[in-house]
Amino acid sequence: MPQLSLSGLVKTYGAARALDGAGLVLRGGEVHALMGENGAGKSTLIRILAGLERADAGEILLDGRVLTLGSPAAAEAAGLRFLHQELQVVPGLSVAENMHLARDYPTRFGLVDWRALHLAAEAALQRLGVGHIGARVPMARLGPGDQMLVRIAATLLQGSGPAPWLYVLDEPTAALTGAEAARLFTAIARLKAAGAGVLYVSHRMDEVLALADRVTVLRDGAHTSTEARADTDQARLIHAMTGRELSDMYPARQTAALGPVLLSVRGLAAAGLASLDLDLRAGEVVGLAGLAGSGRNAALKALIGAVARRGRVELAGAALAVTPAGTWAQGLAYVPRERRAEGVMLLRALAETVSLPHLGALSRLGFLDRRAERGAVAARGAEVRLKARGPGQPVGQLSGGNQQKVLFARALLGRPKVLLLDEPTRGVDVGAKFDIYSLIRGLSAQGVAVLIASSDLPELIGLCDRIAVLHGGVHTQTLAAEGLTEAELLARCYESPTR
């Protein structure tokens, strides 16, 4: 099997050292995960592998021979292929045409041989085990996961160029549904079985621990550890990435006192939710747990007014409005699950995303007060420890963790009474998770009531005072979080309402 060895890599940008002796060994026939907080050096290492950057020092060997990666063409010639979460596709062209973007179209008598083009694409898709995507289908009809499978399959087209043996996947599931991610994992398994290597870069520990044969961790640009999957676990990885113990990830409650009921919910129903009864007190953190489709996410959308609801809901003793504008104005704030699709405006200044629900409060005589907006955004950005050049920086230029902090800054700008969080740490690195957990704990100490819907059961147990369990859209029980185990909570999630 081929083997690519990187050792002692150093890369500096001015006074900043992005890599400080980093290294790892990649082999054909295995999945090697690369983990680390934002700023750990993962992106810089990938850019060096791709031939987009040159290391200031260090050595790269392919099967024991020095490999010079001075350009993307050199990386391709060495058999390396790169797939990013932001895929480069042409939506208006077919699957087959997209697969041939980087190579010549087959021709016959001087014209494009469309039959050969489609047959070649279909053969490559079949080699990857992808039978549900047609070669003639427009790329625009495919979801992000299937588009990624098409880009992987494109590397399997038969041709005269060098055969790929190493695939670098950078946060490949960041924008995928569960079904799309499952198909990607199947494709990765087929690549591995065929002798290819995969460098899998991800913040998602469950995926890493399920897929990887070995895991390398970078911290502050340096190699911290490389371990076989069987020899590591979540606690060891967190310590390698941050220097913290897993038990330190969830800050302790600062005060045991709870205030009056702020949010009272009786018979809440909406699409995907049959019934929820819940009281949420000032300073309390309550979780919503349940299997996929249990209604936990639907409950938050119904409360914020994003979908029609039934039932009686009161906020601080007054009937809750039924529109998002009304609920935000009353003191309810919401951080959605899908930040890119439902939360941020990627191409716009981050200040616009933060201020969007608060334009009335930031306006004078019907005009937005830009100075007040900048001041409010800067203050809330500092509160959530947002790392950005300034309020004018486009959201799309920020890391996933900082994009999530933009949404937290928006939620806090109006000083909410109740904060609704839907998968608040989804797709962020472990350092950003700790910042978010500390923020939630600090808000509860100030008397803010927090309602969290999450599929991360340890997160719910570590943060919440109580956990409401939903099954099939029905609220079945409410549990005290103290002393609760992950196994017990999962078992409760499987219990039907009639049990």
pLDDT band at residue 196 using 50, 70 and 90 as cut-offs: very high
**Whole-angstrom distance, CA of residue 481 vs CA of residue 484:** 5
**Whole-angstrom distance, CA of residue 410 vs CA of residue 415:** 10
Fold identical between 3-245 and 261-494? yes
- Residue 144: closest CA among 107, 174, 185, 114: 174
The domain over range 261-494 is classified in CATH as 3.40.50.300: yes
Would the pLDDT of 161 be above 90? Answer: no
pLDDT digits (tens, 9 = 90+) for 374-429: 899 999 999 988 888 888 899 888 877 888 899 999 999 989 999 999 999 887 77
Number of neighbours of residue 405 by Cβ within 10 angstroms? 27
**Whole-angstrom distance, CA of residue 460 vs CA of residue 462:** 5
Locate 246 and state its tokens.
């897993």
Hey, what CATH topology would domain 3-245 get? Rossmann fold (3.40.50)
- Candidate ranges 56-65, 151-160, 380-389; pick with highest mean pLDDT: 56-65
**Least confident residue range of 142-151, 216-225, 306-315, 456-465:** 142-151
pLDDT digits (tens, 9 = 90+) for 275-292: 999 999 999 999 999 988
Q: Where are the domains of the chain?
A: 3-245, 261-494
pLDDT at 182: 86
421-445: b or e for each residue (b if 16 or more CB lie within 10 Å)? bbbbbbbbbbbbbbbbbebbbebbe
Q: Report the percentage of the chain scoring pLDDT > 90.
A: 59
pLDDT at 400: 77
Sign for the pseudo-dihedral over CA of 312, 316, 322, 327: negative
Q: How far is CA 271 from CA 62, 297, 298, 431, 472, in A?
A: 55, 11, 7, 35, 12
Assess contact for 8 and 58: CB atoms under 8 A. Answer: yes
pLDDT digits (tens, 9 = 90+) for 18-60: 899 999 999 999 999 999 887 788 989 999 999 999 999 999 9
Where in 86-221 does DSSP place strands (E)? Answer: 107-108, 111-112, 166-170, 197-201, 214-219
